[in-house]
Amino acid sequence: MTDSRSDTDNPSHGLTRSSGRTRTRTVTICAFAAMLAGGLGLAAACGDPGGGGSDSSAQRAGSSARPQHKPSPSPTPIWDRKPESLAAVGDSITRGFDACSVLADCVKVSWATGTEPEIDSLASRLFDDPRGKSWNHAVSGAVIADLPDQMRKAAASGPDMITVMSGANDACRPSVGEMTPVEDFRASFRESLRVLRTEQPKTQVYVSSVPNLKRLWEQGRKNPIGHRIWNLGICQSMLKDPNAMDKAAQDRRQQVYDRVVAYNSVLKEECAKDLRCRYDNGAVFRFRFTGEQLSNWDWFHPSKKGQHSLAELAYREITSPRTAR
């Protein structure tokens, strides 16, 4: 191309003798070059064989017309594995009930917001000092129907994350017939997420599965003192007549087990509809609690060691790099 353009601009190469033929040949070559180059500016570079400066301006125009591709900014992750504040909602487990003394809450050993070093709570693992960065709105004895109100209070704190552990009391009723129906459970949990999204659209939610109450019965029944405590009225749908092994007793316990499985399915399904909600995939339900991880006062609620285990499970699930949905 450079040689052709020099020939066109320099009369010393004898173009004056055959200017017509040369002009025709040059135009033909330029058109052919443009066809081969796919319009990448080669035709403009050839220019007018009669001379002039229009070729350079055409090149500049072609260059400026090309789209300028800028690198895309890194997308903001939907799930932040290092939140800077959290609030907890739920029931007596999150309140540390019966972990320090009989029939009393002990929030300082809560798996979610506790401050006792031996617990190494979720808040302690996420922040250097959980005080001022974590709030516990759980209520001992609460059921899923209480969750929307708890969620509203938790949202008022403006936390980066809210932990949810609720549903055990919906299965732990005086009788199997009094357990919360699955659809009512779903409606309450769905309403809880709606309340949160109205108040705090970007707050993350970590949802723990409901513990396996049948596993707790299997461990607690080994302690004769636990039997006497259970007879005072703790979770009778599962713990009534703990040593009874007749068909009716086994069927009753199985019904409670199946209801907990159904509750966990609801938590998983509803949580999956919210991009900033993460279910623990049954981690708490599958965890094989031992006797030493149960309270020495009721052989049902988590002991300090049990609270420590719950904190460990939660931290592992929250910080794991899961594949995006």
Are residues 269 and 161 located together in one domain of the fold? yes
Range of the domain at 207: 86-319
Are residues 228 and 192 located together in one domain of the fold? yes
Which of 35, 65, 95 delimits the end of a domain? 65
Are residues 92 and 35 located together in one domain of the fold? no
Give the pLDDT of residue 223: 85
pLDDT digits (tens, 9 = 90+) for 135-152: 999 999 999 999 999 999
- pLDDT of 20 > 60? The answer is no
Give the pLDDT of residue 72: 54
For 150-188, the DSSP string reads: HHHHHHHT--SEEEEE--HHHHSSSSGGGSPPHHHHHHH
Are residues 259 and 151 located together in one domain of the fold? yes
Are residues 192 and 315 located together in one domain of the fold? yes
Structure confidence at residue 55 as a pLDDT band (50, 70, 90): very low
Q: What's the CA gap between 213 and 239, in Å, rounded?
A: 9
Q: Which two tokens stand for residue 273?
A: 């509809």
More confident position, 3 or 249? 249
Q: Which two tokens stand for residue 198?
A: 């109205």
Task: State whether the Cα torsion 282-283-288-289 is positive or negative.
Answer: negative
Q: Is residue 74 a part of any domain in this protein?
A: no
State the Cα angle at 116 between 113 and 121, rounded to 5°. Answer: 40
Structure confidence at residue 177 as a pLDDT band (50, 70, 90): very high
Q: Is residue 81 a part of any domain in this protein?
A: no
More confident position, 30 or 156? 156
Structure confidence at residue 76 as a pLDDT band (50, 70, 90): low
Are residues 8 and 138 located together in one domain of the fold? no
Q: What's the CA gap between 308 and 120, in Å, rounded?
A: 6
Determine the average pLDDT of the residues in 254-278.
Answer: 97
- pLDDT of 224 > 90? The answer is no
Crossing angle of the two packed helices 182-199 and 147-156, in degrees rounded to 10: 20
How many of the other CB atoms lie within 10 Å of CB of 97?
Answer: 26
Check if the beta carbon of residue 4 is closer than 8 Å to that of residue 11: no
State the total domains in the chain. Answer: 2
Give the pLDDT of residue 321: 87
Q: Is residue 325 a part of any domain in this protein?
A: no
Are residues 99 and 139 located together in one domain of the fold? yes
Determine the average pLDDT of the residues in 238-246.
Answer: 95
Which of 15, 30, 65 delimits the end of a domain? 65
How many of the other CB atoms lie within 10 Å of CB of 92?
Answer: 22
User: For residue 208, which of 134, 282, 97 has the smallest C-alpha distance?
Assistant: 282
Determine the average pLDDT of the residues in 39-58.
Answer: 40
Which of 65, 95, 113 delimits the end of a domain? 65
Lowest pLDDT segment from 168-182, 219-233, 261-275: 219-233
Q: Is residue 80 a part of any domain in this protein?
A: no
Are residues 147 and 27 located together in one domain of the fold? no
CATH label of the domain that carries residue 264: 3.40.50.1110
Q: What's the CA gap between 114 and 124, in Å, rounded?
A: 8
Lowest pLDDT segment from 74-88, 272-286, 293-307: 74-88
Task: For the chain, give percent helix, strand, coil, nearest 5.
Answer: 50, 5, 45
Are residues 139 and 33 located together in one domain of the fold? no
Q: Is residue 314 a part of any domain in this protein?
A: yes
Q: What's the CA gap between 252 and 171, in Å, rounded?
A: 11
Q: Is residue 225 a part of any domain in this protein?
A: yes
Are residues 273 and 146 located together in one domain of the fold? yes
Lowest pLDDT segment from 35-44, 122-131, 245-254: 35-44
Give the pLDDT of residue 250: 97
Q: What's the CA gap between 142 and 153, in Å, rounded?
A: 14
Amino acid found at 58: A
Q: Is residue 76 a part of any domain in this protein?
A: no
pLDDT digits (tens, 9 = 90+) for 126-137: 998 878 899 999
Are residues 99 and 241 located together in one domain of the fold? yes
Amino acid found at 315: Y
Are residues 41 and 139 located together in one domain of the fold? no
Give the pLDDT of residue 71: 55
Map residue 321 onto helix, strand or coil: coil
- pLDDT of 59 > 60? The answer is no
The share of the chain scoring above pLDDT 70, in percent, equals 75
- pLDDT of 323 > 90? The answer is no
Amino acid found at 29: I
Q: What's the CA gap between 279 and 300, in Å, rounded?
A: 24
Q: What's the CA gap between 180 and 145, in Å, rounded?
A: 9
For 236-280, the DSSP string reads: HHHHSSTT--SHHHHHHHHHHHHHHHHHHHHHHHHHTTSTTEEE-
Lowest pLDDT segment from 18-27, 168-177, 208-217, 309-318: 18-27
Q: Is residue 77 a part of any domain in this protein?
A: no
